[in-house]
Amino acid sequence: MDAYLLRMPSPIGRLELLSDGSAVTSLTIERDGTLPRDHLPERPNDVLETARDQLDEYFAGERRTFDVPLAPDGTPFRRAVWDRLREVGWGEHITYGELGMAVGKATAGRAVGGAIGSNPIPLFIGCHRVLGADGRVTGYSGGQGIPTKLWLLEHEGITLAA
């Protein structure tokens, strides 16, 4: 159960972080001015405060890796995709096909896309770093969608195909 809640401002909109007490379990980027739990009072804990500090450093360009504990909830396949995404570092990118091959499902493009789209902890699990085979941005489910992804890619200096 996610008993802890913290909200924070960011350059891509307000962020809502949840924790089970020992790890971050969810991060939501504000969409159209709202967050899913805007109606609930904040209840921060040490994990969420560390996550906030690391995100502040990331947005300031001072942090390129995260070491806050994460506990994403998902199927074994989705967790495998998210684990591989955690290995893609600042300024790097991976394609959907490369990601599928890395998790042993080279022909499961739709399933890989579904796993990416259902990532419960974006930014910490860098799903914004996934591009189409031709190097183009194909979508993003966080915040305002593609504009949010483009901001994150530019922030990390990831060059896109023309």
Distance of CA 91 to the CA centre of its chain: 14
Give the DSSP H or E segment for 5: strand 4-8
Side chain identity at residue 162, one-letter code: A
Question: Quick count: other Cβ atoms within 10 Å of Cβ 136?
Answer: 10
* Active-site hit among 127, 131, 152, 153: 127
Instruction: Note if 64 is an active site residue.
Output: no
CA distance 23 to 17: 10
Name, in order, each residue with C-beta under 8 angstroms of 97's C-beta and a sequence gap of 6 or more: 106, 109, 133
Q: Which residues pair with 125 in a beta bridge?
A: 122
CA nearest 115: which of 70, 153, 66, 80?
80
Catalytic positions are 127
